[in-house]
Amino acid sequence: MIDIKLIRENKDLVKENIKKKFQDEKLKLVDEVFDMDEKVRKVQFDVDNLKAEKNKISKEIGMLMGQGKKDEAEKAKARIAEISNEITSGEEEKVRLDEEIKSRMMVIPNIIDESVPVGKDDSENVEVEKFGEPVVPSYEIPYHADIIDRFNGLDKESAGRTSGEGFYYLLGDVARLHEAMIACARDYMIDHGFTYAIPPFMIRSDVVTGVMSFAEMESMMYKIEGEDLYLIGTSEHSMIGKFKGQMLKKDTLPINLTSYSPCFRKEGGSHGLEERGLYRVHQFEKQEMIVICEPEDSMEWYNKMWKLTVDLFRSWDVPVRQLECCSGDLADLKVKSCDIEAWSPRQQKYFEVGSCSTLGDAQARRLGIRVKGENGNYYPHTLNNTVVATPRGLIALIENNYQEDGSVLIPKVLQPYMGGKEKIVPVK
């Protein structure tokens, strides 16, 4: 949610930003908010004047009674009753207008950074840099589900019986490798100065609407029937929500946390679910990082954060690239975002394994997170980034470490988490 001052002082800027995001249907909202805001301020002005008049008349009543002017005092009392009704009516009108304004402000997109490339959708995202040489071996690399099956490591059929499409069982060495990646990512982030956290895996609706747009909420979140609770789609939601309504001390910034959680997503829409593999599933695990910082430091943190993910995947011998998200691919709360994509030697192309975003003060404004400063209170900036989400990360690791004999080499940094194993070998 942007600052309403932007609409008061520069609504053309807000409209131009909407156009860059190819959401022209929202242009009318800016004019509606502008007009309603003027009405709110006029109503508030009138209410303040009425209150001042009421106070003045109240003081006069005592004097009139003392002077024996009872009739005039009664007229004054009648006028106070009229004013009280007018004040109540004005305050009710202000509440109504404020709610109308808020409902519109919640769907007006955040102002994107000047560096964001303009494009309609993810097909116009821009490659920035590659890290590691993308190799295509001389031998064939099977589909990841087939590789994992040879280790007796995947059972989607049983998961279909217990839970339906989009779920899976990981077994044996594959399940262990999956958890080794999460544990390694946890320790890696702790070594880089982040505080480890395990958050709630369900959050209330006021936290959901504080951290994401309504469109994202509808397409992603699972609601718990009969309760005001949603399963998290990423631990960023509950980690940022941790500070809801809080006044932070300036000397506590930056706050940098890394969190583990299972994640739950509908994965509906055009992408759909994958029948055999693990690219798109309803449930996965993730190591996340979030930062709450001074506004002037957010871009510096943004660049630090995505580079941490790059370095982690490179330690697993996985080539990656940074892909800058264009304006039309940015969720409404985001100021700037990039995807980290891993190389798939089987497909001979990159696929997304993580995303890094700075949201400016949008989440802080929605959730009421403020900083007590020397010259007044202000909203901090919030950022989030995927350290590793698996099984997506697992697919990348398996494909890039797959050997001609069907075994998968375990990168050195992961071997301590695998009991010293240097590779896993197929059993069939």
Is the model more confident about 77 or about 310?
Answer: 310
pLDDT band at residue 217, thresholds of 50, 70 and 90? confident
Q: What is the pLDDT of residue 271?
A: 54
pLDDT band at residue 270, thresholds of 50, 70 and 90? very low
Select from 382, 410, 358, 405 the least CA-distant residue to 173. 410
- Of 57-66, 172-181, 198-207, where does mean pLDDT reach its minimum? 57-66
Over range 236-250, report the average pLDDT.
Answer: 96
Q: Long-range contacts of range 213-220, CB-CB < 8 Å, 24 or more positions apart?
A: 213/106, 213/107, 213/331, 213/332, 213/333, 214/106, 214/107, 215/331, 215/332, 216/331, 219/266, 219/268, 219/269, 220/265, 220/266
Query: Does position 316 have pLDDT exceeding 90, yes or no?
Result: yes
Over range 180-197, report the average pLDDT.
Answer: 98
Over range 314-322, report the average pLDDT.
Answer: 98
Question: Which amino acid type is present at position 8?
Answer: R
Query: Does position 302 have pLDDT exceeding 70, yes or no?
Result: yes
> How far does Cα 371 stand from its chain's mean position?
20
Find out whether 410 and 422 touch, Cβ atoms under 8 Å.
yes
The helix-helix angle for 392-400 and 172-191 (nearest 10°) equals 100
Over range 247-261, report the average pLDDT.
Answer: 97
Per residue in 332-365, pLDDT (tens digit) is: 999 999 999 999 999 999 999 999 999 999 999 9
CA distance 353 to 389: 7
Query: Does position 276 have pLDDT exceeding 80, yes or no?
Result: no
Query: Does position 59 have pLDDT exceeding 90, yes or no?
Result: no
Mean pLDDT rounded to a whole number for the chain: 94
Structural domains in the chain, CATH included, are: 4-105 (1.10.287.40), 122-424 (3.30.930.10)
Rg over CA atoms, the chain: 28
Q: What is the pLDDT of residue 218?
A: 76
- The fraction of the chain above a pLDDT of 90, given in percent, is 86
Q: Which is it for strands 255-264 and 195-197: parallel, antiparallel or unpaired?
A: parallel
- Pull the structure tokens for residue 270: 């055009």
Q: What is the pLDDT of residue 273?
A: 58
CA distance 272 to 266: 9
**Could you tell me where the beta strands, DSSP code E, fall in 109-200?**
126-131, 154-155, 169-170, 195-197
Over range 312-335, report the average pLDDT.
Answer: 97
- Of 36-45, 208-217, 245-254, where does mean pLDDT reach its minimum? 208-217
